[in-house]
Structure 1
């Protein structure tokens, strides 16, 4: 079985993963979902990665999962822990040495068909139960942008098998846009899941099933691959 290292996105906390954690543990896996110092003006990607690595047990059966901006942190973690697999969910997919602030320009985000939503619930949580969406907003933190112009310390993509899972109704990163970025940057075809940008809250059982199946592909689950 696997130990899933779950990395949240911008302005969020590890609580984001709590429903997926319950599903994965019911399947026999271990999980951890640390809070990143995303509201700290002195913290950048290196500090985000260190916060995750400090929480990782001395194990070799690790599956590192990054959500959204967590896609910048996940490969940095995989450089320093014995990960068997990396999974990027509704992600930003960084290039070596790229600053998060440069990501949209570098990936031609302006070409994506993106709607305009003033309500954060309509943008991030449109398919999340209202009470859960309200709790997510209450627990969220302001994302510091102080260090987001700093280049990523990643020199090259880590030699870890990588899967990309995109959401068909994502209002942040549309499907066609993320498919293209996954092909151009990683040379992989992204898998798809129903729902919006935050599937750990809207579809935790489905997301956990996908993660479990990915783990099975590298011998870390009894599930069919």
Structure 2
């Protein structure tokens, strides 16, 4: 069995993973879901990675799973502690020295109307669950958004990218191009919105387990 370290996106929390965590634990895996210190004005990207590494502790057979903005943190964790696999779930892919705030312009990400967050990010998530998620949002301090990504190359860890076909935020055509450009791989694909951990936790767990067994 594996240990899954689950890294949430910008403004999110460990709660975002609670359905997937239950799925994975029910299949015999260990799970570590961490609240990144996103509200801490003094916390750097490396501090974010350290918070995950500290929570993982001495656990081994580690699979790091990073969602959305968490793509800036997942590789840093893999550079700090041994990991068997890094899975990016509809995530941002950093380049060496790139501040997260520059990613949008550097990748050609277009403007999105943010007035309807449920329609943009959560359109296939059960209504009550989507509304609860919105109450748990956290402000993101500027330091980790503005500082350069600290690695000079991608960590030496097998990496998979899972794209969401119905994602209205990181749309499929856009992300396929970013993944090819920045990782040089073809992304895997799953149905659903930007939040598969809440909309399709069992299917996402199947995919993650498939990576371990070679079925995906």
**TM-score between both structures, scaled by the size of structure 2:** 0.96
Answering whether residue 4 of structure 2 is matched by residue 4 of structure 1, we say yes
Q: CA deviation at 1:147?
A: 3.2
Question: What CA distance in whole angstroms lies between the structure 2 residues aligned with 1:150 and 1:57?
Answer: 26
Q: Which residue of 1 aligns with 2:101?
A: 101
CA distance in 2, matches of 1:188, 1:163: 8
Counterpart position of 1:60: 60
Match of 2:76 in 1: 76
Q: CA deviation at 1:117?
A: 4.4
State the alpha-carbon separation in 1 of the partners of residues 85 and 205 from structure 2: 15
Matched position secondary structure for 1:9: coil
The C-alpha deviation readout for 1:133-173, integer Å capped at 9, x for no partner, is 11111122112234311101112100100000011111111
TM-superposed deviation, 1:122: 1.4
Q: Is the 8 A contact 1:64 1:87 kept in 2?
A: yes
- Aligned match of 2:161: 164
Question: 1:154, 1:79 → 2: CA distance?
Answer: 9
Where in structure 2 are there 5+ consecutive unaligned residues? Answer: none
Aligned pairs for 1:126-165 (under 5 A) are 126-165=123-162
Structural mapping, 1:171-210, within 5 Å: 171-210=168-207
Deviation at 1:42, TM superposition (A): 1.6
- CA distance in 2 between counterparts of 1:57 and 1:29 reads 16
Runs of 4+ in 1 over 6 A off after TM superposition: none
Q: For each residue in 1:160-201, what CA deviation from the matched residue of structure 2 results, as whole angstroms up to 9, or x when unmatched?
A: 000000111111110011111111111110011111111100
Change (3 A) 1:139 1:205: same
Structure 1 residue runs of 5 or longer lacking an equivalent are 218-223
Residue 220 of structure 1 is matched in structure 2 by: none
- Equivalent pair of 1:115/1:171 in contact (CA under 8 Å): no
> Counterpart in 2 of 1:221?
none
CA RMSD for the aligned pairs? 1.3
What CA distance in whole angstroms lies between the structure 2 residues aligned with 1:31 and 1:60? 11
Write the deviation string for residues 41-97 of structure 1: whole angstroms up to 9, x where unpaired. Answer: 221211111111110131330000000000000000000111000000010011111
Normalising by the residue count of structure 1, what TM-score does the alignment of the two structures yield? Answer: 0.92
